[in-house]
A and B are shown apart, each in its own frame.
Chain A
Amino acid sequence: MSDMAQPNRLPAGGAIEGRVDRNRPLAFTFDGKSYSGYAGDTLASALIAAGVKLIGRSFKYHRPRGIFSAGPEEPNALIELRGGARREPNTRATTIELYDGLEAASQNRWPSLAFDILAINQIASPLFVGGFYYKTFMWPASFWEKVYEPLIRRAAGLGRASESPDPDHYEKAYAFCDVLVVGSGPAGLAAALAAGRSGARVILCEDDAQLGGRLLSERQTIDDAPAHLFAAAAGGELRSLPNVCVMSRTQVFGAYDSEVYGALERVADHVTAPAAGVPRQRFWHIAAKRCVNAMGATERPIVFGGNDRPGVMLASAVRTYLNRFGVLPGRKAVVFTTNDDGWRTAADLVAAGAQVEAVVDPRASVDENLTKAAAAGGVRVLLGGYIVNVTGGARGVTSAIVSVAGKRQILTADLVAVSGGWNPQVALTTHRGGKPRWSDALSTFVPGDLPDGMTVAGAANGDLGLAESLRKGSEAGAAAAAACGFSAAPAPQPRAEDEPTAVAPLWHVAESRHKAFVDLQNDVTADDITLAHAEGFRSIEHLKRYTTLGMATDQGKTSNLNGHAMMAALTGQAMSDVGTILSRPPHQPVAIGAFAGHHRDRHFRPTRHTAGHAWALENGAVMVEAGPWLRPQYFPRSGEKDWLTTVVREVRTVRSVVGVCDVSTLGRIDIQGRDAAAFLDRVYVNTFSTLPVGKARYGVMLREDGFVMDDGTTSRFAEDHYVMSTTTANAAKIMQHLEFCHQALWPELDVSMVSVTEQWSQYAVAGPKARELLMQLYGPDVDLSNDALPYMGCREIPLRGIPTRLFRISFSGELAYELAVPARYGAAVLEALMALCGALGGCPYGTEAQSVMRIEKGHVAGNELNGQTVARDLGLGRMMSTKRDYIGRVMAGRPALMAPDRPTLVGIRPVEKGRRLTAGAHILPGGAAAVAANDQGYVTSVAYSPTCEGWIGLALVVNGPARHGERVHAFDAMRNNDQDVVICSPVFVDPEGVRLRG
């Protein structure tokens, strides 16, 4: 035929020439060899054009494999696409749009595709039956780990993943519409037109680069013109409608709860590499009121001997290669079909100039028109016949052995086109648990229970005729739009025919004696099904797992039904009782990186900055993660030799002069309403209704099961207005908890709450000169004396017109305040504070110094509020109201939680002065053996205390408070820091609290 480089390309201008762009030749390589194709080709069609038959090796037996299909159902032609960091293993050649410079390589073979050592597995194949590995590899016992498993692992797997980070990026996008139409075959186009013309917001997703579905592959007509022209015109109209969004190269891969659909748009997979700034793929989260599922159907093969040889191809795929791509997959063909549709392949092959040796159809009689047309094309018709075996090898099919009425004949052929009928794509209807329904008429499963909001039209619903697909699609589109409140005058139906589609089921040619494959990719044979049956793996789920049927990257698109039907035949069950495997998302595999999108590296999770962030950086702060926030950990000065030196200085400065710490990250919740006080009384263990206006109180909250959930101070600004503070880590959780309590438990309470963490900046000002500093800030008109703002008082005070809140609370144990200002003034106020602070000889301090001071004061924090402690364990038992009910009260009263021998908060000091303590060390009685039975608790927090001039710690120890003064052992095998410690009071500094009241 045509040119040397593409020997199987049909000549331009012939009866069948395809629709690739012959003016745009493209160069590509496969296994290092150069080839050429045209724009509009897939890698598969270009390889066929070039005469390449052998594409890969099978998973287990390493049998030679070629191209089996023309779509995403491809089980055989898997290749490694691209190279280096962009290497994509297991890529289906049938779905890759050809681009200039494309590089592809075969996989799962060594040393080469043509000569693959592991093809020796074919000789040992009698051993490698389904599930063989469960029966052996057990002796000697130590060999499994050392010998067998590594061998299996190396042999398994298909392609090789890239070994460096993906250089491309992915984008996430969200879309909302009235009607989502999935698939742009005749039904999908008709549905999108009907819905789009009504004015509804429509999204049409098509996996292929072009709209049209089967219309692109068939020689049918619509309105007396070639059907692909209808697709082009419909696409044009849809694109012109402002309310319609057409997304090609977009796979809808899953249906999820709340009518959400996951879709993947391949933005730059059809070029060598994405242009700068362009994502490789876009991950869509589409919320659609209605969905018209028009995903079409997949042709199913037939199981017979040698049905995996390169050159055995789905009959519909042959038509696609001819009509769409203008390539000839074989010159001498045998068509094996159980249905009328398959006969069209014979007709198209003849029209393309190929020789068709015979149409083999197991049915005893078929429509006369079919046989007449075949005869006219010089094609033999073998009714009542079966292909029992196909011979050939790595170079492809050489002949088909056909049995008719017990007589065998050998037909030479290089192409065997197979059709066992069509399976509607039910996947999307099953993702949310819907069960498909068996149709005797079609011998397949059709959609059964549908997820909310979804209708199915066209071949996806088992309506295989063209006219019917157009009509049903149009009805479904109009109905979906109507359900969203849109209507349009019905448009005239395009004229088309319903071609014959009669089918008689045939799953497996029982006469076949050679290896007959059910699942091509996973090398599951007909014998494996028989074996599974014999061994009792008869439920289709057991069959799947025992033989791995349908578990390959094609998810059984061409194999499940045949396998299930073969099992049904063995058990004598009806298919409606056998059922089918519910498919799981994604419909086709989706890159993991697409899910993550730009949520990677620094953007993996949002980073929150306080208003004082820039100031902290400018002043040399070392930052540390605190939940989603970054906080200054300490502020090193030049000449300080390590972090400890810095922290010691910061603590000393606060304790002797004054310091300022950004505490904006603590959660703040504004709570208002007539019942605000009653509400707080129910969520805190202590009482807040008695808190006077203008006062703050430390509160503890329990979980329902009685364990401490969180703590913080809550202040009252009016009878019906409180401001709660939470720990940084629990800010969101407490907000959720309060909302739950209000909405689900006590909706009758008149209270509302809102998180205001981000609305306020808050600074702790602590140290003997804290008052002086604030008086300078506020000026002489504001009275901050002990009487005007006593310990645990709070006031709203304007600062040069800015509303501020001043709380006299202390975490450090010093005279201390917390100053809250609206966040937009946060940076300015911090600067003003720091200028005054510096002038007084104070300094900023970070979380490290804060932590040292809270340990010195015996205040509990995250390490002690670890979800496993009750209030009593923390020495907070007396706070628990005995008069009222509150969340967690009953469960906190359980006997074991009241037991005196629970680990309880104590302080510890090293026996050996100057020795460093380590958190996480376990406490054992002095001299006791290091075994779990002697475990008496553990060290929760440690710090070097400048005030005590030595290491101190907090610990939870059995019977703790009764053991002050006792010498015990701190077990730290990991860091070789075993040592004796002495139990003491957890309050190391100013136990009477003189300073904070000063």
Chain B
Amino acid sequence: MGTFSFGSLLRNAMAGHKDWPRQWRAPDPKPAYDAIIVGAGGHGLATAYYLAKEHGVRNVAVLEKGWLGGGNTGRNTTIIRSNYLWEESEALYDHAVKLWEGLSHELNYNVMYSPRGVLMLAHNIHDIQVFKRHVHANRLAGIDNEWLTAEQAKEFCPPLNIAPGMRYPVLGAALRRRGGVARYDAVAWGYARAADRLGVDIIQNCEVKGIRRDANGAVTGVETTRGDIATKKIGVVAAGHTSVVMSMADVRMPLESFPLQALVSEPVKPVMPCVVMSNTIHAYISQSDKGELVIGAGTDQYISYSQTGGLHITTHTLDAICELFPMFRRMRMLRNWGGIVDVTPDRSPIIGKTPVPGLFVNCGWGTGGFKATPGSGHVFAATIARDEPHPIAAPFTMERFVTGRLIDEAAAAAVAH
């Protein structure tokens, strides 16, 4: 009972859908856990799932101040790709892409991973040179990434405007064919349900307010709005609010938090076959299975924790969409929202141990961490379980900002996603 399949859907339909069990429990916090994950976004839930599944650590709680999946996981534009520049990033994101391929089955939840292709547009000579360099770097790493002419790009994405009269004409594009999108809610819910079944307690409306430590500085537990909970291992996966949580253990993070906006149009019949991104003119777009155009912007210019953003940023993004897709001008924007993204100086995440014994952190995914969700959870779980960095996570330490051994993806992440 409880496994999803067409058969179970049919059986339940005949029974009036009265017998579906809860997809996850709503437990009260226990006094103590072997590990506590702070933040029930996709990354936190995936971490808990892999802790239970691959490392046998099942006495785990995921604490969420709101409702699970309500942070950036539930606000993002879901672009999945792995054509980053550096070997370290390629390994991390490609690890995730490989997990995406089998995720629906792994979780018994249709996460609607849809690799329909991601086109990144080049608008000037500089873009072309940078992209070609990326294509080479990716080829060296065995990752698919092709260069298309403007005409080939239009063939791949017919609504695209490649008219030479544009202010910034499309001169070509890099195409990652196995890049695509997935259904963000399903990712959070799928991991939540699967983790719950393995015994993980997901505790919502439970905000972490303090981190307790012993005389040696090692963590001993957390203080929450639902009481104190003891643990020796804490994994902080709080995205835009990571700095706030980490300061509870006196750790200062090399992060800045910015609002990042996105919007959807009214739903229409299929018009947009793939994902298109333009870092140069700041916009990216795809069409959801429901029919909405999903459009994203660059970050706001100022740091802030408000989940609203400036009108001019939305305007700027839609200028660019109209430029690239003149036939969408008459379509209407339905909803516009923002999330708070945590940005590191080199635009790569931080995954690993911290100076505080027992405290682990996974953050800094900025504008582009959704794509990494399975991979991030997978390597972070290993790091927490073994108390040493997973080999793929090893370069992504916090110390790199001290040593200067950076993984600079600023160009790859300029807008984006």
6 contacts between A and B (CB under 8 A): A138-B4, A262-B311, A541-B70, A592-B318, A595-B319, A596-B323
CA distance A591 to B265 in the complex (A): 9
Beyond A553-B266, A596-B318, is A591–B331 a contact (Cβ under 8 Å)? yes
Residues of A within 8 A of B307 (CB): 433
Chain A interface: which size bin? 35 or more
In contact, A156 and B17 (Cβ under 8 angstroms):
no
Minimal beta-carbon separation of A94 from chain B (angstroms): 16
Minimal beta-carbon separation of B383 from chain A (angstroms): 22
| Interface check A201, CB cutoff 8 A | no
A-B contact count (CB 8 A): 312
| Interface check B267, CB cutoff 8 A | yes
| Interface check A100, CB cutoff 8 A | no
Beyond A605-B167, A935-B137, is A86–B337 a contact (Cβ under 8 Å)? no
| Interface check B303, CB cutoff 8 A | no
Residues of B within 8 A of A126 (CB): 13-14, 16-17
Per-position binary interface string of chain A over residues 233-272, scored 1 when its CB falls under 8 Å from any chain B CB and 0 otherwise? 0000000000000000000001011001010000000000
Beyond A144-B112, A163-B327, A868-B408, is A971–B136 a contact (Cβ under 8 Å)? yes
Residues of B within 8 A of A931 (CB): 140-142
Residues of A within 8 A of B321 (CB): 592, 596
The 8 lowest CB-CB distance pairs between A and B, nearest first, are A157-B291, A894-B404, A593-B329, A589-B332, A165-B326, A896-B404, A920-B132, A595-B318
Closest to B15 in A: A126
| Interface check A878, CB cutoff 8 A | no
- Residues in chain B within 8 A of chain A (CB atoms): 4-6, 8-10, 13-14, 16-18, 20-26, 66-67, 69-70, 74, 87, 90, 102, 104-105, 108-110, 112-115, 124-126, 129-130, 132-133, 135-137, 139-142, 147, 165-168, 183, 185-186, 189-190, 204, 265-271, 281, 287, 289-291, 306-308, 310-311, 314-315, 318-323, 326-337, 345, 400, 402-406, 408, 410-411
| Interface check A127, CB cutoff 8 A | yes
Partner of B311, one of A144, A256, A601: A256
CA distance A132 to B271 in the complex (A): 24
The CB with the most chain B CB atoms within 10 A, among A157, A604, A921, is that of: A157
In contact, A158 and B267 (Cβ under 8 angstroms):
yes
In contact, A135 and B331 (Cβ under 8 angstroms):
no
In contact, A932 and B333 (Cβ under 8 angstroms):
no
CA distance A157 to B319 in the complex (A): 24
In contact, B267 and A156 (Cβ under 8 angstroms):
yes
Per-position binary interface string of chain A over residues 438-460, scored 1 when its CB falls under 8 Å from any chain B CB and 0 otherwise? 00000000000000000000000
Residues of B within 8 A of A602 (CB): 165-167
In contact, A919 and B129 (Cβ under 8 angstroms):
yes
In contact, A596 and B319 (Cβ under 8 angstroms):
yes
| Interface check A475, CB cutoff 8 A | no
In contact, B139 and A166 (Cβ under 8 angstroms):
no
| Interface check A618, CB cutoff 8 A | no
CA distance A85 to B327 in the complex (A): 8
| Interface check A372, CB cutoff 8 A | no
Minimal beta-carbon separation of B103 from chain A (angstroms): 10
| Interface check A351, CB cutoff 8 A | no
Interface-forming stretch among A147-155, A355-363, A490-498?
A: A147-155
CA distance A971 to B114 in the complex (A): 32
Per-position binary interface string of chain A over residues 113-128, scored 1 when its CB falls under 8 Å from any chain B CB and 0 otherwise? 0000000000000110
Residues of A within 8 A of B129 (CB): 863, 919-920
In contact, A536 and B24 (Cβ under 8 angstroms):
yes
| Interface check A432, CB cutoff 8 A | yes
Residues of B within 8 A of A87 (CB): 330
Given contacts A168-B330, A433-B307, A541-B70, could you give 14 more A-B pairs where the C-beta distance is less than 8 Å?
A126-B16, A133-B112, A134-B110, A136-B9, A156-B267, A161-B327, A164-B327, A165-B327, A535-B23, A553-B334, A555-B334, A604-B166, A894-B403, A933-B87
In contact, A137 and B136 (Cβ under 8 angstroms):
no
| Interface check A539, CB cutoff 8 A | yes
In contact, B404 and A895 (Cβ under 8 angstroms):
yes
Minimal beta-carbon separation of A103 from chain B (angstroms): 15
In contact, A592 and B314 (Cβ under 8 angstroms):
no
Residues of A within 8 A of B332 (CB): 90, 553, 589-592
CA distance A590 to B74 in the complex (A): 23
Residues of B within 8 A of A254 (CB): 311, 336
In contact, B291 and A156 (Cβ under 8 angstroms):
yes
In contact, B266 and A158 (Cβ under 8 angstroms):
yes
Residues of A within 8 A of B323 (CB): 596, 600-601, 604
Beyond A866-B411, A919-B129, is A161–B331 a contact (Cβ under 8 Å)? yes
Minimal beta-carbon separation of A677 from chain B (angstroms): 30
Partner of A896, one of B141, B168, B328, B403: B403
In contact, A589 and B306 (Cβ under 8 angstroms):
no
In contact, A896 and B405 (Cβ under 8 angstroms):
yes
| Interface check A967, CB cutoff 8 A | no
In contact, B124 and A867 (Cβ under 8 angstroms):
no
Minimal beta-carbon separation of B182 from chain A (angstroms): 11
Beyond A433-B307, A586-B333, is A592–B322 a contact (Cβ under 8 Å)? yes
| Interface check A141, CB cutoff 8 A | yes
Residues of B within 8 A of A164 (CB): 327
Residues of A within 8 A of B310 (CB): 256-257
Residues of B within 8 A of A166 (CB): 326-327, 329-330
Beyond A90-B268, A601-B167, A894-B404, is A592–B336 a contact (Cβ under 8 Å)? no
Residues of A within 8 A of B311 (CB): 254, 256, 260, 262, 285
Minimal beta-carbon separation of A429 from chain B (angstroms): 13
Partner of B20, one of A256, A531, A593: A531
Residues of B within 8 A of A537 (CB): 23
Residues of B within 8 A of A154 (CB): 269-270
| Interface check A625, CB cutoff 8 A | yes
In contact, A920 and B133 (Cβ under 8 angstroms):
yes
Residues of A within 8 A of B271 (CB): 161, 163
In contact, A157 and B270 (Cβ under 8 angstroms):
yes
Minimal beta-carbon separation of B327 from chain A (angstroms): 5
In contact, A536 and B334 (Cβ under 8 angstroms):
no
Beyond A158-B266, A158-B267, A920-B129, is A591–B330 a contact (Cβ under 8 Å)? yes
In contact, B104 and A161 (Cβ under 8 angstroms):
no
Minimal beta-carbon separation of B392 from chain A (angstroms): 14
Beyond A90-B266, A154-B269, A935-B87, is A145–B114 a contact (Cβ under 8 Å)? yes
CA distance A553 to B264 in the complex (A): 10
Minimal beta-carbon separation of A835 from chain B (angstroms): 32
CA distance A70 to B6 in the complex (A): 41
In contact, A867 and B410 (Cβ under 8 angstroms):
yes
Residues of B within 8 A of A545 (CB): 69, 74, 185
| Interface check A585, CB cutoff 8 A | yes
Minimal beta-carbon separation of A241 from chain B (angstroms): 29
CA distance A129 to B14 in the complex (A): 12
